[in-house]
Every structure is written in C-alpha cells, then in structure tokens.
Amino acid sequence: MQRSIKCFLSGIAVLILIVAGARIARAQNASDLKLNEILVLNDSNSVDDFGMHTAWIEIFNSAYNTVNIGGCYLTDDLSNPTKYWIPTGDPATQIPSRNYIVFWADNQPTRGIFHLNFDLKNSRTIALFNADGKTLVDKVDLPSEHKPDVTYGRPTNESTEWVYLEKSTPGANNDYTKKKSAGESFVEFDPYGIGMTMIAMFVVFSALSMLFIIYKNMGRFFIRRATSSNKPATSAVSTSVKHSEEEMSGEVNAAIAMALYMYQSEFHDEENTVLTIHKVSRNYSPWSSKIYTLRKSPR
C-alpha cells in the first residue's frame, strides 16, 4: 500500500515537472506570435516615443502565456530574413498573454529596440522569423496602394483575412464592437435556469463524491498503517494467550465457570467482612416445641 502511494505521488510530481517544463519552453516559443496590424502612411495617426508620425507594425501574442519576442527577426525582404534582430535581455520584449507590442518602422534603430532599421515606403511584404533566422513565424503581403492614416490588419484576433480597418488600434484589439458577455449568452441559451441548476447539482455532487473517495481511502491507509505498526505487539499477546490456554487444566476451567455462575446468580457477599445467613422458610419445628421438652413434675 505504501509503495503504491509513493509511486502515485512520484507520478504526480513528474507530471507537474513535465507540465512546468513544457510551459517554460512554450513561454520562449514565438510560434504563437502573429502580425496583427500595420500602418504604412502615418500622417496624423499615432506618434512614437519621440513624437514622430512614422509607420508601425503591431504583433499579437495569441497564446495564453507570456512569450518573449527577443531574439526574433523582423524584415520587409524575404531574401534577407535577419534584417532586423530584436535584442534580448530587455523585459519590454516580454509580451503578456493575449497582448500586443508595436514596432516603429522609421529606419532609426538608434532610437531604441522598438525602432526598426527599415521603413515601409516601398515594402511589399512584412515577415517575422524565429530566433534561428530560418523559421517563418508569420508574414503578410501589403497592398500596392495605401490610404493615409488607415491601417491594414485582421478584423479579429482569430481572423486570417486582412482588410482596411475603420479605426487604428495600436497596442489594442482590432475588434472594438460590443460583444455579448458569457452570462448574456448563457441566459439566451437557458432562459429558465434549468441548465444552470443541473450544472450546479452536478458540480456539488461530484465534489462530494470526490471528497468521500479521498477521505475513505485516507482512512483505510491510516488504519492499515496503524495495524501494521502494532502487529508485533498483537502477535506477542496472542502467543501468550495461546500458551496460557494450553497450560490451564480442566479443574481451573471448572472453577472459573463456577465462579462466573455464582456471580451471575448473586450467591456472594457484597463485602468481604459480612456473613450472609438465609432465614429458613419454616418457623415451627417439633424439635423446638416446649410440650416435648418439658416433663410433668412427679406427684
């Protein structure tokens, strides 16, 4: 039993380590990054940290964990995939889950790590390559004509189609339309709450069943453990009892049986110093009669 429990706990620990290692490895994986929105002609749109209107590229982290874009490459020329190397070691290159990062295509790399060494005036393709400089993560072909201050991007984060967007949203979700909340959608699906009631009952009874199984197995485990720890003493006591039973003779057993019978029949004194005398049931006896003991006086 103890060996099986140890193996079970060891398996859980190994599984946790594997999941944690996979999560850490996934956190450094750039395959979940997507080019999300691009502005080529920035006349009066967003300004960079130097107050300049320049072209910009937005990248979206579609994963549910943080991804570090440091070490990857951005380029506008597929024949030169390592055109701009994104520096590593800067915490700003950590893209949180379902979040965005913006690079300024101003051909001014000396202004910071988010300023690229190329602009988008004559660009036809924007591509993101992984840290090996060979694996293509994502790319988009730009249209031949660009509208001033109008961005080109995905209508939603999950969309594969690129269109001109009505509003530019650098560092934010491109889909700004009102969405139904999960509660509103569930109310439409279950207006009378029957489904919610069934789900709640299922969750409660499932939790109670799991607790019952857990506590039952824990009780069995501790009982077996206590029994195994007291086994030598119990075996010694049983051995001594067996020896004493073998040594007792029939007279001893008869005396013990008689004592038990007398105890149950109450033929005993309540105190050691008291003598109990039972009164006879017959009061008259001819041996004690005076007419037989006294003689008539002689004349």
Residue 211 is assigned to a structural domain of this protein: yes
If asked whether residues 32 and 173 sit together in one domain, one would say: yes
- Which of 159, 179, 199 terminates a domain? The answer is 179
Structural domain including 207 reads 180-231
- Which of 231, 252, 272 terminates a domain? The answer is 231
If asked whether residues 98 and 139 sit together in one domain, one would say: yes
If asked whether residues 150 and 184 sit together in one domain, one would say: no
The residues with which 75 forms a beta bridge, in sequence order, are: 127
The residues with which 59 forms a beta bridge, in sequence order, are: 35, 101
Residue 8 is assigned to a structural domain of this protein: no
If asked whether residues 111 and 173 sit together in one domain, one would say: yes
If asked whether residues 184 and 167 sit together in one domain, one would say: no
3-state secondary structure of 126: strand
If asked whether residues 191 and 84 sit together in one domain, one would say: no
- Which of 194, 213, 231 terminates a domain? The answer is 231
pLDDT averaged over 10-residue windows placed end to end, the chain, 299 residues: 60 66 55 95 94 96 94 96 95 94 96 96 95 95 92 93 94 83 76 84 92 87 75 56 62 82 67 59 61 59
| Predicted local confidence at residue 185, as pLDDT | 77
Which of 72, 69, 68, 102 is closest to 84 using CA atoms?
A: 72
CATH number at residue 41: 2.60.40.1260
Residue 82 is assigned to a structural domain of this protein: yes
Number of domains in the chain: 2
If asked whether residues 104 and 187 sit together in one domain, one would say: no
If asked whether residues 137 and 219 sit together in one domain, one would say: no
Residue 202 is assigned to a structural domain of this protein: yes
